Amino acid sequence: MTPTTPDLTRRRLLGLGLLGAGAIVLEGLPGAERALAAATGPRAVSAAVGVGSGRRHGPIVVPGGFDLAGLRWDGDPRARIELRARRRGGRWSEWLPVHVAHDHGPDGAAPAPGTDPVWTGRADEVELRLDRSLRGLTLHTVRADGARRRIVVARAAQAPAPPPIITRAQWGGDTLRTRGAPELGTVQMAFVHHTVNANSYTAEESPAIVLAIAKYHIRSNGWNDIGYNFLVDRYGQIFEGRAGGIDQPVIGAQAQGYNAVSTGISNIGTFESTGQTEAALNAMAQLIAWKLAIHGVSPEGTVEVVSAGGSANRYPSGRRVTFQRISGHRDGDKTSCPGAALYAQLPEIRRRAAAQDYPIQSPDVPVAGSGQAQLSIQPAATQVAAYSTVHVLGQLRDVDGGPIAGVEVRIQKRGATRWSTAARARTDRDGRFDAPVVVRQSTRLRAWFGGDADVGGEVLTSPEVAVNAIPKLTIDVSAKRVPVGGTVQVRVAARPTRSRVDLVVTRRGPDGRYRTVSRHRLRRSGSALAADVRLTKAGLYGFTVSAPADGKGVAVSGPRVHVRCARGLRPSDPIRVEAGGVPESNGGGAAVASG
C-alpha cells in the first residue's frame, strides 16, 4: 500500500474487477507527458520519457488511471528507484522506495530485471526517481474497479479445521486466466514474506490488493498465477493465494530454490521498521500450524532441505541447508524480505504456532506400495533451465517404516520406449538419498531400487514425477538500424532444438502504442531458424520470438529486440541477444514472487 494524501486515500476505488494491465515504455525520448495524455485506455499504452541518472522524471499520465504499478527493464538489474503517485491535479503521495526484484525469477533461469508491484490506490499520474539510466524501462500498471465490500468468512466445523480463509472466488481469483495447472510438491516448512506496500489500507481494500498483485504476477511477470500460497493482511484476514487447493502441497513461486518443499505466506504491507499487528500474528500462527500439520509437519524445530540453486539463492544447487520450520524469505534467498521488524517477530510466530492444537497428519510424501517397503522421490525443482542440473531427493523405508541405509538407488529417465539410468545415489543412515540429474529436455523421472534382503528381495520403483525444461533462445538480428525498404535478417537458435519458432514484428505508432505489423514462422536454415523481414515504413520496430510447448520444453518467448528504420540510415552492426527465455507457462513452481 502506498501512503497517499488523505484525499487520495479516501477516494480509492476498490473491488474485484480488473480492467487490465498497461505497459508504458520509457525510452529516453522527450514528450512523454503529451504522448501519454493523447493515448486512450489503460491497455498496452506506450510512450517515451526522458530517463537519466539521478533525476526526477514525469509527471507521466496513465490514461484511465491505475491502482498498482511496477517497472521492468533490460540489462543492469542494480538500480535504486523511487515512485510517487497522485490523481491528476491533486497532491502527490510521499516518495516510495520501489523494491528491485532482480533476486526473483524462474528456478534455473536468469530473471528479467524488474520491481515488485506497488499499490498506490487510485491515481493517474506517476513520477520516478532513478540513480542510473535503464534501457527499455517499462512502467506496468493495473487498475482495480468495483464496489467496496467486506468479506465475512465462517470457520469450518470439521476437524482439523483451518482458520477462516477468504477463497479465490471471494477475492476474484476465479476470474483470472492462469497459465497452467497447479503442480504439487511437499510441504516441509513455511516461508514468511511481505508485499512491500505501505500499511495505510483498510480491510475492505485488501481483496482488491490481492487481485491486483495476482494480475501483475500473471500479466507483467509472466507467471502461472499469483506467486504466494497465502496472503495475510494487517487485520488478520487470510487469503487463499495460488490455485490448487488450500489443503494441497501446491508449488508456489515465492522462494527461489525451495518452492517444491515449502509453502509461502505473504504479509500485505511493509515491515522494515514497523512490526505486524497482533491480529495478523495470530492469523499467521494459526494458518502455518494448520498448514504444516495437515502435511505431517510440526511447526517447531528445524528441517534439512536441498537447495535447487538460482541467482537469488544464498546457497548453491545441491547444498543441504537447515532451516527453522517457520523461516523468513531472507533465510534462503538474497533479499531483505520480510523486513527487519517482521523478521524479528518470527520467534513469536513460532511460539504461537507451536501453541496451536492441530494434530499432525500423515506426511504427504508420495510412496509406492501399501504395507510394504516404500520408495519416494521429489525433485528440488519441477522446472529448470535446459541443460542444467536438478537435485532429486527421496527416501527408502522397509516394511516397518524404518530407513534402509547404505544401498544404491538409481534415478531413471523415461525415454520413448524404455527407462534409462541418469544417476546413482547411496542412501544415508536415514534412508535418504540425493542425486544430481542433468535435464537436457522435459522428462519424467523415477527412483528404482533393485531389491535387498531387508525388503524380501523386492524391486521397488517410486511414482513418476515430471521435470520441465526451459529452453535457451539465442536471437541474432542483422542490424539495429536500417534504411526504409531495408531488410532485417533474424536467426534464432534454440537449445534444445525446437520444431517451431514464431516471430512477431510490431511498430510503434504516433500515439506511442505498438501494433502488430507481421507474423512469421521461422524456417529452418542449417542449425538455426530464420526469417527475412523487409521494413517499408520509418519507425521503431519490435521483434519478439516465441516457441510453443512441445515434448522437449515449455513454451517460451525471447526478449523484444528493437530496430530503428529511417530514411538515410545505413545498416548498423548486428545484435545478438542470449536469454534463457521467459516461460509462458512456468509449471507452477519455477518462478519466485516478490518479497
| DSSP secondary structure letter of residue 350 | H
Three-class DSSP category at 38: helix
Q: What is the DSSP string of 329-346?
A: HHHHBSS-TT-HHHHHTH
Gyration radius of the chain over CA positions: 25
What pLDDT sits at residue 582?
52
Cα angle 296-180-376, degrees, rounded to a multiple of 5? 35
Three-class HEC string of 101-112:
CCCCCCCCCCCC
What pLDDT sits at residue 48?
29
Right CATH for 374-470 from 2.60.40.10, 3.60.130.10, 3.40.50.720, 3.30.1380.20:
2.60.40.10
Measured on CA atoms in the order 579, 493, 503, 441, is the torsion positive or negative? negative
Say how far apart CA 224 and CA 505 lie, in whole Å: 25
Two domains, one topology: 374-470 and 472-583? yes
What pLDDT sits at residue 322?
95
Report whether 375 contacts 483 (CB < 8 A).
no
Composition of the chain by helix, strand, coil, percent to 5: 15, 40, 50
What count of Cα atoms within 13 Å lies in the side-chain half-sphere of residue 184?
14
| One-letter amino acid of 194 | H
| DSSP secondary structure letter of residue 526 | T
Judge residue 577's burial from the number of C-beta atoms within 10 Å of its C-beta, 0-12 exposed, 13-18 middle, 19 or more buried. middle
**Number of residues that this document lists for the chain:** 595
What pLDDT sits at residue 55?
66
Say how far apart CA 125 and CA 256 lie, in whole Å: 34
Say how far apart CA 104 and CA 114 lie, in whole Å: 9
As its CATH architecture, domain 168-354 has: 3-Layer(aba) Sandwich (3.40)
Residue labelled with grid coordinates 533462445: 473
Q: Where are the domains of the chain?
A: 6-145, 168-354, 374-470, 472-583
Say how far apart CA 323 and CA 344 lie, in whole Å: 16
What count of Cα atoms within 13 Å lies in the side-chain half-sphere of residue 408?
6
Closest CA to 76 of 30, 114, 48: 114
Report whether 10 contacts 36 (CB < 8 A).
no
Say how far apart CA 236 and CA 231 lie, in whole Å: 10
What pLDDT sits at residue 33?
32
**How is residue 32 written as a grid cell?**
512523454
For residue 403, the cross-strand partners are 397
Q: Where are the beta strands (DSSP E) in 268-387?
A: 302-306, 320-324, 326-328, 374-379, 383-385
Say how far apart CA 119 and CA 8 lie, in whole Å: 12
Tens-digit pLDDT string for the chain (595 aa) = 333 332 222 223 222 233 344 555 454 333 333 333 333 222 323 232 333 334 677 788 888 888 888 887 776 667 788 889 998 888 898 887 787 764 554 444 455 567 888 888 888 898 988 887 777 778 888 887 643 444 544 333 334 678 999 999 999 998 888 877 787 788 999 999 999 887 888 999 999 999 999 988 888 777 889 999 999 999 999 999 999 999 988 988 899 889 888 999 999 998 999 999 999 999 999 999 999 999 989 999 999 888 888 778 899 887 889 999 999 999 999 888 999 999 999 999 999 999 998 988 866 544 433 446 788 888 877 778 899 898 898 888 887 778 889 999 999 999 888 899 999 999 998 899 999 999 999 999 999 998 866 555 678 898 888 888 888 888 899 998 999 999 999 999 988 888 889 999 999 988 778 889 999 999 987 778 999 999 999 999 999 998 888 888 888 887 788 999 998 877 676 766 665 555 543 333 333 333 5
Cα angle 344-349-354, degrees, rounded to a multiple of 5? 140
Closest CA to 590 of 343, 255, 134: 255
Closest CA to 432 of 347, 586, 306, 554: 306
**How is residue 192 written as a grid cell?**
514468511
Determine whether domain 472-583 maps to CATH 2.60.40.10.
yes
To the nearest 10°, the Cα dihedral for 435, 248, 191, 361? -90
